[in-house]
Amino acid sequence: MLTLKTSSEFLQWRALVSPLESIGLVPTMGALHEGHLSLIRQSIKDCDISCVSVFINPLQFGVNEDLESYPQDIVGDLKKLKAIGVDVVFIPHANDIYDDDDSLLIVENNLSRKLEGKSRPTFFSGVLTIVSKLLNLVRPDFAYFGMKDAQQLIIIQKMVKEMKYPVQIIPCKTIREHNGLAMSSRNEYLNKEQRENAKIIYLSLFHARELINNGETNPSIIKAAIKDMVLSETTLTLDYISIAERETLVEITADVKTNNKTLILIAVFLNGVRLIDNIYI
Ligand code: AMP
Protein backbone atom coordinates (compact mmCIF):
# COMPACT_ATOMS: atom_id res chain seq x y z
CA MET A 1 0.00 0.00 0.00
CA LEU A 2 1.37 3.35 -1.08
CA THR A 3 0.91 6.26 1.35
CA LEU A 4 1.13 9.71 -0.26
CA LYS A 5 1.14 12.88 1.80
CA THR A 6 1.19 15.79 -0.63
CA SER A 7 -0.64 16.79 -3.80
CA SER A 8 2.60 16.90 -5.76
CA GLU A 9 3.54 13.37 -4.66
CA PHE A 10 0.05 12.30 -5.60
CA LEU A 11 0.23 13.89 -9.06
CA GLN A 12 3.60 12.26 -9.72
CA TRP A 13 2.10 8.88 -8.91
CA ARG A 14 -1.05 9.63 -10.92
CA ALA A 15 0.93 10.52 -14.05
CA LEU A 16 2.30 6.98 -14.14
CA VAL A 17 -1.06 5.18 -13.97
CA SER A 18 -1.98 3.52 -17.25
CA PRO A 19 -5.16 4.88 -18.87
CA LEU A 20 -6.24 1.24 -19.19
CA GLU A 21 -6.51 0.89 -15.41
CA SER A 22 -9.70 2.02 -13.65
CA ILE A 23 -9.37 4.07 -10.46
CA GLY A 24 -11.84 4.20 -7.57
CA LEU A 25 -11.79 7.02 -5.00
CA VAL A 26 -13.25 6.82 -1.50
CA PRO A 27 -13.00 10.19 0.31
CA THR A 28 -13.09 9.91 4.13
CA MET A 29 -12.27 11.94 7.22
CA GLY A 30 -10.73 8.89 8.92
CA ALA A 31 -11.60 7.15 12.22
CA LEU A 32 -12.64 4.40 9.86
CA HIS A 33 -15.52 2.06 10.70
CA GLU A 34 -17.46 -0.63 8.83
CA GLY A 35 -19.46 2.06 6.98
CA HIS A 36 -16.27 3.42 5.39
CA LEU A 37 -14.91 -0.07 4.81
CA SER A 38 -18.04 -1.11 2.89
CA LEU A 39 -17.42 1.73 0.40
CA ILE A 40 -13.78 0.72 0.10
CA ARG A 41 -14.66 -2.96 -0.46
CA GLN A 42 -17.01 -1.91 -3.26
CA SER A 43 -14.24 0.14 -4.87
CA ILE A 44 -11.79 -2.75 -4.63
CA LYS A 45 -14.37 -5.02 -6.24
CA ASP A 46 -15.10 -2.59 -9.10
CA CYS A 47 -11.73 -0.99 -9.87
CA ASP A 48 -8.16 -1.93 -10.77
CA ILE A 49 -6.77 0.66 -8.34
CA SER A 50 -8.49 1.91 -5.18
CA CYS A 51 -7.48 5.16 -3.56
CA VAL A 52 -8.73 6.29 -0.13
CA SER A 53 -8.24 9.82 1.12
CA VAL A 54 -8.08 10.48 4.85
CA PHE A 55 -8.45 14.20 5.47
CA ILE A 56 -10.32 16.05 8.20
CA ASN A 57 -11.57 18.85 6.01
CA PRO A 58 -11.54 22.08 8.08
CA LEU A 59 -13.71 23.87 5.52
CA GLN A 60 -16.77 21.77 6.28
CA PHE A 61 -16.78 22.54 10.01
CA GLY A 62 -18.68 25.54 11.32
CA VAL A 63 -17.04 27.87 13.85
CA ASN A 64 -18.65 26.21 16.87
CA GLU A 65 -18.36 22.67 15.58
CA ASP A 66 -16.05 19.82 16.54
CA LEU A 67 -13.04 20.31 14.23
CA GLU A 68 -10.60 20.23 17.17
CA SER A 69 -12.08 17.14 18.79
CA TYR A 70 -13.06 15.17 15.66
CA PRO A 71 -12.04 11.50 16.19
CA GLN A 72 -8.65 10.58 14.71
CA ASP A 73 -6.82 7.26 14.53
CA ILE A 74 -4.43 7.37 11.63
CA VAL A 75 -2.40 4.36 12.84
CA GLY A 76 -5.55 2.24 13.17
CA ASP A 77 -6.86 3.55 9.83
CA LEU A 78 -3.69 2.62 7.95
CA LYS A 79 -3.80 -0.88 9.46
CA LYS A 80 -7.40 -1.36 8.33
CA LEU A 81 -6.69 0.02 4.86
CA LYS A 82 -3.68 -2.23 4.38
CA ALA A 83 -5.57 -5.30 5.63
CA ILE A 84 -8.47 -4.69 3.24
CA GLY A 85 -6.13 -4.29 0.24
CA VAL A 86 -6.24 -0.58 -0.63
CA ASP A 87 -3.65 0.45 -3.22
CA VAL A 88 -3.11 4.13 -2.39
CA VAL A 89 -3.84 6.22 0.68
CA PHE A 90 -3.75 10.00 0.37
CA ILE A 91 -3.27 11.84 3.69
CA PRO A 92 -2.67 15.49 2.85
CA HIS A 93 -2.13 18.33 5.28
CA ALA A 94 -4.64 21.20 5.23
CA ASN A 95 -1.90 23.64 4.09
CA ASP A 96 -1.34 21.53 1.02
CA ILE A 97 -5.03 21.52 0.09
CA TYR A 98 -6.00 25.12 0.90
CA ASP A 99 -4.39 28.50 0.47
CA ASP A 100 -4.46 30.65 3.60
CA ASP A 101 -7.30 32.88 2.49
CA ASP A 102 -9.86 30.18 1.60
CA SER A 103 -11.13 32.56 -1.06
CA LEU A 104 -12.13 29.92 -3.58
CA LEU A 105 -15.20 27.81 -2.87
CA ILE A 106 -17.65 25.64 -4.75
CA VAL A 107 -21.13 26.75 -3.72
CA GLU A 108 -24.46 25.14 -4.52
CA ASN A 109 -27.30 27.48 -3.78
CA ASN A 110 -30.48 25.45 -3.66
CA LEU A 111 -30.26 21.97 -2.13
CA SER A 112 -27.47 23.14 0.18
CA ARG A 113 -29.78 25.56 1.93
CA LYS A 114 -32.26 22.91 3.07
CA LEU A 115 -32.15 20.53 6.04
CA GLU A 116 -28.48 20.12 7.06
CA GLY A 117 -27.70 23.44 5.39
CA LYS A 118 -30.05 25.30 7.73
CA SER A 119 -28.13 24.17 10.80
CA ARG A 120 -24.77 24.10 9.04
CA PRO A 121 -24.75 26.93 6.46
CA THR A 122 -21.13 26.46 5.31
CA PHE A 123 -21.06 22.68 5.44
CA PHE A 124 -21.91 21.81 1.84
CA SER A 125 -19.61 24.37 0.26
CA GLY A 126 -16.83 22.83 2.39
CA VAL A 127 -17.76 19.35 1.18
CA LEU A 128 -18.10 20.33 -2.49
CA THR A 129 -14.80 22.20 -2.45
CA ILE A 130 -12.82 19.26 -1.05
CA VAL A 131 -14.58 16.68 -3.23
CA SER A 132 -13.93 18.83 -6.27
CA LYS A 133 -10.22 19.11 -5.42
CA LEU A 134 -9.96 15.37 -4.81
CA LEU A 135 -11.68 14.60 -8.13
CA ASN A 136 -9.20 16.89 -9.90
CA LEU A 137 -6.19 15.30 -8.22
CA VAL A 138 -7.21 11.66 -8.42
CA ARG A 139 -9.20 11.75 -11.67
CA PRO A 140 -11.04 8.57 -10.68
CA ASP A 141 -13.42 6.61 -12.89
CA PHE A 142 -15.66 5.89 -9.90
CA ALA A 143 -16.12 7.67 -6.57
CA TYR A 144 -17.95 6.09 -3.65
CA PHE A 145 -20.24 7.90 -1.20
CA GLY A 146 -22.52 6.66 1.57
CA MET A 147 -26.31 6.97 1.47
CA LYS A 148 -26.06 7.63 5.21
CA ASP A 149 -25.27 11.23 4.18
CA ALA A 150 -28.14 11.37 1.71
CA GLN A 151 -28.25 15.13 1.18
CA GLN A 152 -24.47 15.24 0.69
CA LEU A 153 -24.70 12.44 -1.88
CA ILE A 154 -27.44 14.23 -3.83
CA ILE A 155 -25.53 17.52 -3.87
CA ILE A 156 -22.30 15.83 -4.96
CA GLN A 157 -24.20 14.07 -7.76
CA LYS A 158 -25.53 17.45 -8.85
CA MET A 159 -22.05 19.01 -8.83
CA VAL A 160 -20.58 16.15 -10.86
CA LYS A 161 -23.38 16.39 -13.41
CA GLU A 162 -23.30 20.17 -13.75
CA MET A 163 -19.53 20.58 -13.66
CA LYS A 164 -19.14 17.67 -16.13
CA TYR A 165 -16.68 15.69 -14.04
CA PRO A 166 -15.87 12.50 -15.93
CA VAL A 167 -16.58 10.27 -12.94
CA GLN A 168 -19.39 7.94 -11.96
CA ILE A 169 -20.69 8.44 -8.44
CA ILE A 170 -21.54 5.15 -6.75
CA PRO A 171 -24.01 5.41 -3.82
CA CYS A 172 -23.43 2.78 -1.12
CA LYS A 173 -26.00 1.64 1.41
CA THR A 174 -25.93 2.68 5.05
CA ILE A 175 -24.13 0.29 7.39
CA ARG A 176 -25.64 0.05 10.88
CA GLU A 177 -24.70 -1.16 14.33
CA HIS A 178 -26.50 -4.35 15.48
CA ASN A 179 -29.18 -2.20 17.13
CA GLY A 180 -29.88 -0.21 13.94
CA LEU A 181 -27.91 2.96 14.75
CA ALA A 182 -26.20 4.21 11.57
CA MET A 183 -22.43 3.91 11.96
CA SER A 184 -20.64 7.25 12.19
CA SER A 185 -17.26 8.44 13.40
CA ARG A 186 -19.16 10.80 15.69
CA ASN A 187 -20.76 7.80 17.48
CA GLU A 188 -17.42 7.71 19.33
CA TYR A 189 -18.66 10.71 21.29
CA LEU A 190 -21.45 8.54 22.76
CA ASN A 191 -21.12 6.14 25.66
CA LYS A 192 -22.63 2.64 25.58
CA GLU A 193 -25.94 3.70 27.08
CA GLN A 194 -26.29 6.66 24.71
CA ARG A 195 -25.60 4.44 21.70
CA GLU A 196 -28.32 2.14 22.91
CA ASN A 197 -30.74 5.07 23.34
CA ALA A 198 -29.88 6.31 19.85
CA LYS A 199 -31.28 3.17 18.21
CA ILE A 200 -34.72 4.84 18.43
CA ILE A 201 -33.69 7.07 15.49
CA TYR A 202 -33.61 4.18 13.04
CA LEU A 203 -36.53 2.40 14.71
CA SER A 204 -38.68 5.50 14.19
CA LEU A 205 -37.74 5.67 10.50
CA PHE A 206 -38.41 1.96 10.13
CA HIS A 207 -41.79 2.43 11.81
CA ALA A 208 -42.61 5.29 9.41
CA ARG A 209 -41.84 3.08 6.44
CA GLU A 210 -44.13 0.39 7.87
CA LEU A 211 -46.90 2.97 8.26
CA ILE A 212 -46.48 4.05 4.64
CA ASN A 213 -46.37 0.47 3.39
CA ASN A 214 -49.60 -0.16 5.32
CA GLY A 215 -51.35 2.68 3.51
CA GLU A 216 -50.68 5.86 5.52
CA THR A 217 -50.15 8.73 3.07
CA ASN A 218 -50.46 11.87 5.21
CA PRO A 219 -46.99 13.37 5.76
CA SER A 220 -48.08 15.21 8.92
CA ILE A 221 -49.30 11.98 10.53
CA ILE A 222 -46.12 10.15 9.53
CA LYS A 223 -43.91 12.95 10.89
CA ALA A 224 -45.90 13.06 14.14
CA ALA A 225 -45.40 9.30 14.56
CA ILE A 226 -41.64 9.67 14.07
CA LYS A 227 -41.50 12.62 16.45
CA ASP A 228 -43.44 10.81 19.18
CA MET A 229 -41.20 7.80 18.94
CA VAL A 230 -37.93 9.76 18.92
CA LEU A 231 -38.96 11.98 21.83
CA SER A 232 -40.10 8.99 23.86
CA GLU A 233 -36.36 8.68 24.42
CA THR A 234 -36.01 11.71 26.67
CA THR A 235 -32.29 12.22 26.07
CA LEU A 236 -32.95 13.09 22.40
CA THR A 237 -34.02 16.40 20.89
CA LEU A 238 -35.07 16.92 17.28
CA ASP A 239 -33.51 19.21 14.71
CA TYR A 240 -35.67 18.21 11.72
CA ILE A 241 -37.78 15.49 10.18
CA SER A 242 -38.31 15.76 6.44
CA ILE A 243 -40.33 13.66 4.02
CA ALA A 244 -39.02 14.70 0.66
CA GLU A 245 -38.65 13.77 -2.99
CA ARG A 246 -35.41 11.85 -3.06
CA GLU A 247 -33.79 13.65 -6.00
CA THR A 248 -34.81 17.23 -5.32
CA LEU A 249 -35.35 17.17 -1.54
CA VAL A 250 -38.59 19.07 -2.14
CA GLU A 251 -40.81 18.56 0.91
CA ILE A 252 -43.81 16.33 0.18
CA THR A 253 -46.98 18.03 1.34
CA ALA A 254 -49.51 15.94 -0.58
CA ASP A 255 -49.79 12.15 -0.42
CA VAL A 256 -46.68 10.13 0.37
CA LYS A 257 -46.36 7.32 -2.15
CA THR A 258 -44.52 4.01 -2.10
CA ASN A 259 -42.95 4.69 -5.49
CA ASN A 260 -39.26 4.62 -4.59
CA LYS A 261 -39.10 8.39 -4.98
CA THR A 262 -39.44 9.33 -1.32
CA LEU A 263 -36.81 9.84 1.31
CA ILE A 264 -37.35 10.47 5.01
CA LEU A 265 -34.49 12.36 6.64
CA ILE A 266 -33.93 13.11 10.29
CA ALA A 267 -31.41 14.97 12.46
CA VAL A 268 -31.36 14.76 16.25
CA PHE A 269 -29.15 15.85 19.11
CA LEU A 270 -28.05 13.47 21.81
CA ASN A 271 -25.90 14.93 24.54
CA GLY A 272 -24.76 17.70 22.20
CA VAL A 273 -23.88 15.22 19.44
CA ARG A 274 -25.70 15.74 16.18
CA LEU A 275 -26.80 12.49 14.53
CA ILE A 276 -28.41 12.11 11.10
CA ASP A 277 -30.12 9.22 9.42
CA ASN A 278 -32.54 8.54 6.58
CA ILE A 279 -34.60 5.83 4.98
CA TYR A 280 -35.66 5.35 1.38
CA ILE A 281 -39.32 4.49 0.86
P1 AMP B 1 -16.87 10.66 6.65
O2 AMP B 1 -15.55 10.10 7.03
O3 AMP B 1 -17.85 10.69 7.77
O4 AMP B 1 -16.76 11.95 5.90
O5 AMP B 1 -17.50 9.64 5.62
C6 AMP B 1 -16.82 9.25 4.45
C7 AMP B 1 -17.78 8.50 3.55
O8 AMP B 1 -18.28 7.35 4.24
C9 AMP B 1 -19.01 9.34 3.16
O10 AMP B 1 -19.32 9.06 1.80
C11 AMP B 1 -20.08 8.81 4.09
O12 AMP B 1 -21.39 8.95 3.56
C13 AMP B 1 -19.68 7.35 4.17
N14 AMP B 1 -20.25 6.75 5.39
C15 AMP B 1 -20.11 7.20 6.67
N16 AMP B 1 -20.82 6.41 7.52
C17 AMP B 1 -21.42 5.46 6.76
C18 AMP B 1 -22.28 4.37 7.04
N19 AMP B 1 -22.69 4.09 8.28
N20 AMP B 1 -22.69 3.59 6.02
C21 AMP B 1 -22.30 3.87 4.74
N22 AMP B 1 -21.48 4.88 4.41
C23 AMP B 1 -21.05 5.66 5.39
Strand pairing partners for 170? 144
- Nearest-atom number in ligand 1 for the CA of 36 is 8
For strand 168-172 and strand 49-54, is the pairing parallel, antiparallel, or unpaired? Answer: unpaired
Assess whether the C-beta atom of 172 lies below 6 angstroms from ligand 1: yes
Beta-carbon contacts of 66 under 8 Å, excluding residues fewer than 6 positions away, are 186, 189
The full 3-state SS of 185-233, as one line of letters, equals HHHHHCCHHHHHHCHHHHHHHHHHHHHHHCCCCCHHHHHHHHHHHHHCC
pLDDT of residue 92: 98
pLDDT of residue 100: 82
pLDDT of residue 53: 99
- Nearest-atom number in ligand 1 for the CA of 183 is 19
Residues designated catalytic: 36
Strand pairing partners for 252? none
Assess whether the C-beta atom of 57 lies below 6 angstroms from ligand 1: no
Closest protein CA for atom 6 of ligand 1: 28
Q: Which of 39, 40, 70, 129 to mutate to test the pocket of ligand 1 (most atoms within 8 A of CB)?
A: 39
Strand pairing partners for 244? 251, 263
Q: List per-residue pLDDT tens for the chain, 281 residues long.
A: 999 999 999 999 999 999 999 999 999 999 999 999 999 999 999 999 999 999 999 999 999 999 999 999 999 999 999 999 999 999 999 999 998 877 899 999 999 999 999 999 999 999 999 999 999 999 999 999 999 999 999 999 999 999 999 999 999 999 999 999 999 999 999 999 999 999 999 999 999 999 999 999 999 999 999 999 999 999 999 999 999 999 999 999 999 988 878 999 999 999 999 999 999 99
pTM score > 0.95 for this model?
yes
- Nearest-atom number in ligand 1 for the CA of 186 is 3
CA distances 265 to 51, 209, 230, 262, 268, Å, are 30, 12, 13, 10, 10
pLDDT of residue 258: 83
**Contact (CB, 8 A) for 89 and 54:** yes
Distance 99 CA to ligand 1 centre (A): 26
pLDDT of residue 137: 98
